[in-house]
């Protein structure tokens, strides 16, 4: 593959304003080509791009196309930066009036050097907000698609669509479905801006010469070129960079300094500020465990139990052991054996979380180029050790924030699927979607996992419910709870085999969810049997019924959730559960619409 850097623009407006500046602050920049102006961190803008593409394992050659007026500047730059001077191409223009145009400059490089390979072309005068850009991911994505590739980013609120080339992208195929060259307001709702950063297949290079021969110099822009390609229904794909770009050649001095300051501040803020998010445990109020069996459920996240993950940028990737949950010193070999068998070693799981989350983001979101940067990650949690979805969820929130990903990049339904896949495929945990959906959407959530819905869209229908006027809920659990994977025992296989009892029970769970009935626990017990549920769970259910409280198993083994309509019975019931060796607490619902706790990326 060959890389071509375009730096032939004359930057007339910016240079004029630098010359006319009365402060004298920019006098040393008079006559300096725009791509050699200071960028983020004091480095020249072109220095950043040269560092990004100076990879012999990716590019056989790198060429730079400039104009006659500034050729000597780039010759000096090349000598100082180990760039081959013989690869600088002079397009012969000396003013804005006789410039060739961006497409013609690329076509000149192809024709004069007889290039016959895939080409990546980049405008060298672009400020890039993130200095850790990884071009390897761009090349990998380009080679996986049967067409050309455009890079785009999501514009900031202050940027206007009519100043950019705007693309509309199919979220499934990543094809560019529409290209707008500086569209007027109202023509498109897209805020995805294309920049001069393209990958072009060798078979498509003749299109450039055809376009150049048909267009006047003033119309030889890439925006015009891609608009025509799009009209001809040729395959063009889009890849998002989760960062901002600004073409310095199109702005004046005030805009140049504004964007340079903004991007520099962003870089500094990102380096210094830790990222912390929480994910909360959930209780299944209706329908569980039918989430594993095309059923329907209602679940609620609660603030009583949580997992908190903190991520800080660092030189290397570091996973900090939890001081309590991840002991490294033991009293004896027997002590180590007992703790690991009873509680597990969360740090091993945590390593899997990070490795698999990063890998899954790269695989599932391979249309987004993540930056090259490391981090230190630590966690805290008061959720029982067997419940890992909250830790995975909180870690994903941190990574999304760290890599500047949005809900558009990883929609909530897809995020829930992703968390489940990490647990089932990599950690071999028997689980359904209910926990993951509740922790992603948060609050009180209705979930429909009907077979038709799941097959058509790959996820269920999820609706956030009104939490105002909720009654008083309580939660009780055993001090040594069982594994919910064990509670699920062989039910899934029986369901797949069409066992009438299991199929009927799951259908009943779904119906009860729609009816919001309290009969859920009876159906649950009929299919899972008393032996499977265990004496501890059954004892708690019986104890709750003594106080006239509606009660059910919320999901994980070793816990029950109840509804208390008589507040005067709450304290006696608490004492009764405590005397039975159970932990009892009043549920504090987590309402994302009113809470100030940081939980969303």
What's the rounded Cα separation, in Å, for the pair 87 and 106?
13
Average pLDDT value for the chain: 83
Neighbours of 183 (CB within 10 A): 16
What's the rounded Cα separation, in Å, for the pair 284 and 273?
36
Average pLDDT over residues 244-259: 84
Domains of the chain as residue ranges with CATH: 2-268 (3.90.550.10), 276-470+496-526 (3.30.230.10)
For 375-412, how does the pLDDT look when each residue is reduced to its tens digit (9 = 90+)?
898 989 888 655 578 888 898 899 889 888 888 888 99
In 3D space, the residue among 436, 491, 100 whose CA is nearest the CA of residue 279 turns out to be: 436
pLDDT on residue 223: 83
What's the rounded Cα separation, in Å, for the pair 85 and 65?
11
Q: Which helix (H) or strand (E) holds 229?
A: helix 222-231
Residue 443 φ then ψ, to 5°: 85, -145
What does the chain come to in residues?
601
Q: Among 27-41, 102-116, 285-299, name the one with the lowest average pLDDT.
A: 285-299
Tokens of residue 468, six digits: 């105002």
Tokens of residue 381, six digits: 């949690």
What's the rounded Cα separation, in Å, for the pair 599 and 308?
9
Predicted TM-score of the model (pTM):
0.80
Identity of the highest mean pLDDT range in 102-111, 175-184, 502-511, 533-542? 102-111
Confidence of residue 206 (pLDDT cuts 50, 70, 90): very high
Q: Is 453 helix (H, G, I), strand (E, B) or coil?
A: helix
What's the rounded Cα separation, in Å, for the pair 129 and 264?
7
What's the rounded Cα separation, in Å, for the pair 465 and 403?
30
Decide: 297 and 520 in contact? Cβ < 8 Å.
no
CA 431, distance to chain mean position in Å, is 23
DSSP assignment of 250-287 equals GS-HHHHHHHHHHHHHHHHHHHH--EEEEEEEEEEEES
Can you state the angle between helices 206-214 and 102-112, rounded to 10 degrees?
A: 130
What's the rounded Cα separation, in Å, for the pair 128 and 125?
10
3-state secondary structure 67-110: CCCCHHHHHHHHHHCCCCHHHEEECCCCCCCCCCCHHHHHHHHH
Identity of the highest mean pLDDT range in 139-143, 364-368, 383-387, 538-542? 139-143
Average pLDDT over residues 102-116: 94
DSSP assignment of 349-396 equals HHHHHHHHHHHHHHHHTTTB-----EEEEEEEE-S-TT--HHHHHHHH
* Whole-number CA gyration radius for the chain: 30
Confidence of residue 486 (pLDDT cuts 50, 70, 90): very low
Handedness of CA 330, 331, 337, 343 (dihedral sign): negative
In 3D space, the residue among 529, 581, 579, 588 whose CA is nearest the CA of residue 553 turns out to be: 529
Decide: 342 and 360 in contact? Cβ < 8 Å.
no
What's the rounded Cα separation, in Å, for the pair 539 and 500?
28
Whether 269 sits among the annotated catalytic residues: the reply is: no
For 309-336, how does the pLDDT look when each residue is reduced to its tens digit (9 = 90+)?
999 988 888 888 887 777 777 788 887 7
Bridge partners of 154, per DSSP, are 192
pLDDT on residue 311: 92
List 435, 448, 483, 514, catalytic entry = 435
pLDDT on residue 485: 40
Decide: 167 and 152 in contact? Cβ < 8 Å.
yes
**507: pLDDT strictly greater than 70:** no
Tokens of residue 7, six digits: 């730096």
Q: Would you call 240 exposed, middle or buried from its count of C-beta atoms within 10 A (0-12, 13-18, 19+)?
A: buried
pLDDT on residue 47: 93
Confidence of residue 127 (pLDDT cuts 50, 70, 90): confident
Question: Which residues lie below 8 Å from residue 172, measured CB to CB, with a gap of 6+?
Answer: none
Residue 415 φ then ψ, to 5°: -65, -40
Average pLDDT over residues 268-293: 79
Confidence of residue 363 (pLDDT cuts 50, 70, 90): low
């Amino acid at each position: 593959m060959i890389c071509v850097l375009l730096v032939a623009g004359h930057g007339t407006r910016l240079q004029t304003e630098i010359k006319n500046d009365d402060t004298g602050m920019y006098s040393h920049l008079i006559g300096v080509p725009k791509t050699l102006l200071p960028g983020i961190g004091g480095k020249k803008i072109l220095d950043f791009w040269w560092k990004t593409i100076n990879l012999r394992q990716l590019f056989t050659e790198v060429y730079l196309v400039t104009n006659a007026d500034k050729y000597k500047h780039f010759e000096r730059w090349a000598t100082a930066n180990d760039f081959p001077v013989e690869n600088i191409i002079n397009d012969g223009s000396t003013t804005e009036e006789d410039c060739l145009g961006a497409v013609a400059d690329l076509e000149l490089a192809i024709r004069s050097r007889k290039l016959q390979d895939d080409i990546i072309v980049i405008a060298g005068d672009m400020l890039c907000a993130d200095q850790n850009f990884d071009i390897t991911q761009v090349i990998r994505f380009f080679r996986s698609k049967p067409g050309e590739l455009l890079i785009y980013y999501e514009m900031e609120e202050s940027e206007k669509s009519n100043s950019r080339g705007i693309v509309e992208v199919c979220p499934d195929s990543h094809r560019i479905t529409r290209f707008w060259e500086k569209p007027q307001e109202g023509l498109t709702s897209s805020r995805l801006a294309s920049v001069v950063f393209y990958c072009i297949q060798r078979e498509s290079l003749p299109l450039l010469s055809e376009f150049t021969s048909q267009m006047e110099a003033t119309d030889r822009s890439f925006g015009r070129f891609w608009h025509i390609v799009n009209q001809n229904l040729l395959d063009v794909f889009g890849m998002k960079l989760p960062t901002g770009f600004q073409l310095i050649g199109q702005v004046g001095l005030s805009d140049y300094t504004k964007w340079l300051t903004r991007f520099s501040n962003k870089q500094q803020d990102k380096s210094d500020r830790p990222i912390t998010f929480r994910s909360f445990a959930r209780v299944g109020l209706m329908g569980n465990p039918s989430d594993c069996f095309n059923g329907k459920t209602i679940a609620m996240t609660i603030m009583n139990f949580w997992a908190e993950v903190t991520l800080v940028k660092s030189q290397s990737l570091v996973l900090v052991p939890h001081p309590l949950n991840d002991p490294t010193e033991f009293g004896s070999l027997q002590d180590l054996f007992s703790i690991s068998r009873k509680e597990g070693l969360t740090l091993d799981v945590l390593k899997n979380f990070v490795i698999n989350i990063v890998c899954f983001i790269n695989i599932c979101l391979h249309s987004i180029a993540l930056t090259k940067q490391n981090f230190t990650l630590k966690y805290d949690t008061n959720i029982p050790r067997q419940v890992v979805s909250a830790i995975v969820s909180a870690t994903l929130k941190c990574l999304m924030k760290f890599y500047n990903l949005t809900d558009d990049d990883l929609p909530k339904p897809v995020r829930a699927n992703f968390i489940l896949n990490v647990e089932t495929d990599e950690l071999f945990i028997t689980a359904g979607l209910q926990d993951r959906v509740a922790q992603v959407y948060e609050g009180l959530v209705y979930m429909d996992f009907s077979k038709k819905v799941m097959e058509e869209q790959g996820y269920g229908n999820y609706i956030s419910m009104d939490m105002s006027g909720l009654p008083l809920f309580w939660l009780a659990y055993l001090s040594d709870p069982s594994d919910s994977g064990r509670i699920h025992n062989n039910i899934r296989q029986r369901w797949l085999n069409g066992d009438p009892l299991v199929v009927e029970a799951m259908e009943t769970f779904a119906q009860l969810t729609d009816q919001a009935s309290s009969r859920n626990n009876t159906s649950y017990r009929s299919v899972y049997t008393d032996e499977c549920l265990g004496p501890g769970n059954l004892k708690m259910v019986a104890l709750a019924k003594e106080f006239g409280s509606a009660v059910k198993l919320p999901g994980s083994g070793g816990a029950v959730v109840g509804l208390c309509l008589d507040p005067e019975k709450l304290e006696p019931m608490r004492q009764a559960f405590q005397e039975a060796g159970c932990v009892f607490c009043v549920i504090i619902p987590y309402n994302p619409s009113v809470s100030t706790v940081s939980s969303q990326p």
